[in-house]
Amino acid sequence: MALPETIFGQVWKLGDHVNTDLIHPPSHFSLDQKKMKEGIAEGMVRLGSEVKKDSSDQGWIIVAGENFGCGSSRETSVRGLASFGVKGVVASSFARIFMRSLINVGIPVFECGEIQEYVKDGELIRISLKTGWIELTGSRRFHFSEMDPHLKKILEEGGLIGYLRKEWHEI
């Protein structure tokens, strides 16, 4: 099972209507992992992150507002986030294609509108898939919406490719 019961990570806090071209600038679109990571690091600076590192020892959890991932539906942005160490994304709402692309590469998504005003950039947080809670420093907790069972199956296989391999193997 590729989907852990608990996810820990450092927060990269973003606002509402964050466009994928800001997260991962088009000048860094590539299949080269180093170039993708450089693009995400540039995106952090462009979006005003107080945590200006190219990686986190704990991994990253993006916490965003409404309509996260709007704009282009390029998969390179999502692949860049995966190579950068993003372990999950929490947002009030997602652009539909971007959300599915995150799931397809194995990055879990969580809808939670209340957390945005309480979380801080760089803060360590914990997401418990078992209990349905996101816990901030100081034990403040927020409930996230239940994950669609089919999407959860895809995440349990590490993404869409793993899921399809399992499905085709079982036929």
Q: How far is CA 118 from the centre of its chain?
A: 18
Task: Look at residue 118 and tell me whether its pLDDT is greater than 60.
Answer: yes
Superfamily designation of domain 6-170? Aconitase, domain 4 (3.20.19.10)
Q: Are 137 and 118 in contact (CB under 8 A)?
A: no
pTM beyond cutoff 0.85: yes
Q: What one-letter code names the amino acid at 103?
A: I
What is residue 13's DSSP assignment?
Answer: E
Helix (H, G, I), strand (E, B) or coil at 62: strand
Query: Can you tell me the distance from the alpha carbon of 71 to that of 49, in angstroms, rounded to the nearest whole number?
Result: 20
pLDDT the model gives residue 50: 66
pLDDT the model gives residue 47: 82
Domain range annotation of the chain = 6-170
